[in-house]
């Protein structure tokens, strides 16, 4: 009936989530709160699911240009269970290790999901980042070429996962910018 109670989560579950994710205790409880506010009333939180639209409209993701990709990568069969949301928050938390972030960043940026970031993916990334209507072809091609010349080590016009990993390990901003605070408390 109505909204589920806050302390519905058992202590063992909380411990398990703390052991399996990078989130702290408070963060898990806050996400639990947010999840319960959004999920349909009356359901046990472990069985409830959220749609991709609901997750896209969370304040943390609302203005993110890659929110549709984030939702696609972290959801299962088009819906988010509570554990999916936790997994997403864990990857984007401050304490997450770089290899995990690089892995999911690769999946997010791979728009056509062929296991490589090719020119088409790069152009789509740039368009999303710049968010402007008057983008000249030359500018796009220039930028794409620069990115590929810097990180494409084997000259095949695509970034494989190793090349992406190598580029992100050298990038000074990556760890700072690939962070989302999912809770408002």
According to the binding rule CB under 8 A, does residue 161 interact with another protein? yes
Whose Cβ is closer to another protein: residue 3's or residue 112's?
A: 112
Torsion of CA 171, 173, 174, 179, to 10 degrees: 170
Shortest spacing between CB 43 and another protein, in angstroms: 18
Name which of 33 and 124 has its Cβ closer to another protein: 124
Other CB atoms within a 10 A radius of the CB of residue 60 amount to 18
Least Cα distance to 123 among 112, 115, 114 occurs for: 112
Which residues inside 77-136 make contact with another protein, applying CB under 8 A? 83-84, 86-87, 90, 92, 95-97, 99-100, 103-105, 109, 114-116, 118-120, 122, 125-126, 129-132
Instruction: Kindly state whether residue 158 participates in binding another protein, applying the rule CB under 8 A.
Output: yes
Question: Taking CB under 8 A as the rule, does residue 49 contact another protein?
Answer: no
Rounded Cα–Cα distance for residues 36 and 44 (Å): 9
What is the SS3 assignment for 73? helix
């Amino acid at each position: 009936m109505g909204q589920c109670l806050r302390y519905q989560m058992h202590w063992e579950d909380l411990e398990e989530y703390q052991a399996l994710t990078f989130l702290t205790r408070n963060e898990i409880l806050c996400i639990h709160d947010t999840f319960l506010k959004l999920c349909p009333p009356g359901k046990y939180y472990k069985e409830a699911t959220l749609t991709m639209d609901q997750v896209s409209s969370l304040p943390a993701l609302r203005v993110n240009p890659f929110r549709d990709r984030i939702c696609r990568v972290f959801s299962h069969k088009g819906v988010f269970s509570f554990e999916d949301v936790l997994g997403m928050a864990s990857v984007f938390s401050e304490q997450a290790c770089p290899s995990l972030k690089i892995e999911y960043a690769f999946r997010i940026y791979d728009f056509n999901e062929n296991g490589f970031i090719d020119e088409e993916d790069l152009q789509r990334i740039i368009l999303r980042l710049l968010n402007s209507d008057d983008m000249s072809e030359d500018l796009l091609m220039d930028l794409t070429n620069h990115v590929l010349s810097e990180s494409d080590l084997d000259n095949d016009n695509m970034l494989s996962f190793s090349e992406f990993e190598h580029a992100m390990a050298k990038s000074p901003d990556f760890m700072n910018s690939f962070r989302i605070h999912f809770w408002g408390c």
